[in-house]
Structure 1
Amino acid sequence: MPKPKTLDPSQSTRAMYGAELRYQRERAGMSQEELGAAMFVSGSFVGQLESGARRMRLEYAKAVDEILGTDGFFVRNLEAARASPYSAHFADVVDMEGMAETIKDWAPTLVPGLLQTAAYTRALVEAYDPFLPEEDVEARVQARLARAHIFNGPNPPQYWAVLDETIVRRSVGGPAAMAEQLHHIAAMARRKKVIVQMLPLSEGANAGLSGMFKMMTFADAPAVVYVQGTETGRLMDEPAVVTRSTLTYDLLGGAALSPAASLDLIEQAAKEYEDAHRARSEDRDLA
């Protein structure tokens, strides 16, 4: 998993929780490896808990309290340590995106979250949960947009996405929202923030029809693969899974259009959506 990072305890309750774990471990005179052995996890896993890269689970909090003699501190404060605007199955993925050297997304149905605009995200959220109060909709939109800050840091990841052409043809949020979304992807590509390839519908059967997945690599840790379903998701670092996912991604990239041709397709589709939006506006004006 990703190499542990040092967080400022003042940044969040989660960072403070990790800092307290490190303090109590060192006070007990234990190394990360020694505490990990007592918890039946690896030393690097303990480092990830201390850095906030991994969220504490109840069984680990109980073990830490018992091993370090912390009088139930870690169990009592578990809720604060797990605080995240993201769902439980996805919070670790967001943390790993911030530490990854490379990120590769295969997206068969929707624009990947890291590339979404506010209007596109809002349309998805409202379609998925039409009874959600507006303030909760906005909170989810902002949480998703916040993930894109990784592109603006001093060491942004090398990001590569293969998108099925279905994504371009499905009008999420209407023509204006789609034009904005596609222009955003094109702008990211032209600024060399990302590489995007389009897999044309004419390809028919392809290696990625089983569903979306995300691959991430790190400087000093094994690669991971994330797969997602409805209200669930799974992170895997088993070598066989990573090897198969790498082959699948290579097959998809080989079948997709070149980045330059993909950019042409995206920008042409954006123009078509702009024309459709303009025609709708003119029809309303005439009505």
Structure 2
Amino acid sequence: MAKGAHGSRQAAWEFFGAELKRRREEAPLTQVELGARVFVSGGYIGQFEQAIRKPQLDVAQRIDAVLQTAGFFERMWRKLIDDKRYADYFAKAVGLEQVATVIEEFEPVVVPGLLQTAPYAWALTVTTHPFATEELIGEKVSARLERSGILKDATRPRYWAILHECALRTPVGGAACMADQLEHVAATARERKAFVQVVPFAAGAHALMGKSLRLMEFEDAPPTVYTEAAYAGELLDDPAMVKRSRHAYDLLRAAALSPEASLALIDSAAEDFRRCTSTT
């Protein structure tokens, strides 16, 4: 069911791209010409048309204005991105994530969404929605796995994830689930699709105690910070706040283990969980 939901949504984005190409050519405008008018590069227009990347809402609105499509692309955007599979406070961050060229994030308790496996995401979702139907849980897991698709694209962002050791040791979904999850994180790092570091328990206090943080950079827009607490999230683009967040992230990076030592710790934690499965 989750796989089917992902496939149908991808097909809808492919339709979005095909319509964009058709209406652009009818204008007639080249990708570069349309890009100049909506304040993105011609290459981005090409990626939108191929459903490789997804536009931000304001870009979809400007495309409607330039191509005189009476809000068609804005309506499609809202249906595909601004949907109830995501919490309202997170939906806009998802849209930005799709067009970011750099994503740097820290998670203090759980494995970041972009690195989660389906069983791990399912276990987390059941924990936070204990009375939800199987269908609703499947939709939310599908949405999370769909997000991780950006790390598979040829145009994937430069992704840097810092995890606290707590995220490695908390047995979400049981020992087998955690072993698979940590092996997936390690494999993603070794395939150079992500740069992963771990802040060990031994580091003690650090610059982002108990706070998740995501820094995003873009080709044609200023950087943005997304922070999240329980049932609330906030996007910040004020330059002073972005600068402070960058400073905190750099301090955290300095407190983390080296990439090599981080992978060794992830491997060790995975082996610990794997041993638990063999003794039960």
**TM tier relative to shorter chain:** 0.7 to 0.9
Q: Alpha-carbon deviation of 1:209?
A: 0.9
Name the SS for the 2:265 alignment partner: helix
Residue 182 of structure 1 corresponds to 182
| TM-score normalised to structure 1 length | 0.74
Which residue number corresponds to residue 267 of structure 1? Answer: 267
Q: What's the Cα RMSD here? A: 3.4
Which has the larger Rg?
1
1:123 aligns with 2:119: no
Identity %: 37
Deviates more, 1:91-100 or 1:76-85: 76-85
1:98 CA drift (Å): 2.3
Partner of residue 173, structure 1: 173
CA 156–78 in structure 1, closer or farther in 2 if over 3 Å, else same: closer
Distance 1:119 1:256 in 2: 27
Alignment of 1:14-53 (within 5 A): 53=55
Distance in 2 (alpha carbons) for counterparts of 1:145 and 1:131: 22
Instruction: Tell whether the 8 Å contact from 2:56 to 2:96 is kept in structure 1 after alignment.
Output: no
Question: How many Å separate the matches in 2 of 1:11 and 1:189?
Answer: 29
1:246 corresponds to which residue?
246
In the alignment, is the contact (CA less than 8 A) between 1:122 and 1:141 conserved in 2?
yes
1:143-195 CA-to-partner distances (Å, cap 9, x unmatched) read 10111111121211111111101111110000000000000000011111111
Match of 1:37 in 2: none
1:16 Cα shift? 6.4
1:104-183 alignment, distance < 5 Å: 104-183=104-183
Give the Cα separation in 2 of the matches to 1:9 and 1:139.
16
- How far, CA to CA, are the matches of 2:260 and 2:114 in structure 1? 21
Q: Which residue pairs with 1:205 in the alignment?
A: 205
For the 8 Å contact 2:227–2:234, the answer to whether it is kept is yes
For 1:39, the equivalent position in structure 2 comes to: none
Q: Distance in 2 between matches of 1:186 and 1:54?
A: 31
Structure 1 gaps, min length 5: 1-7, 35-42, 281-287
SS at match of 1:89: helix
Q: Distance in 2 between matches of 1:15 and 1:239?
A: 36
SS of match in other structure, 1:90? helix
1: CA distance, partners of 2:13 / 2:174:
42
Between the two proteins, the alignment pairs up a number of residues equal to 247
Tell me what 2:232 maps to.
232
Shift of 1:89: 2.2
| Alpha carbons of structure 1 residues 147 and 126: separation in structure 2 relative to 1, 3 Å | same
Q: Is the 8 A contact 2:55 2:98 kept in 1?
A: no
Aligned in 2, Cα 1:242/1:15: closer, same or farther, shift over 3 Å? farther
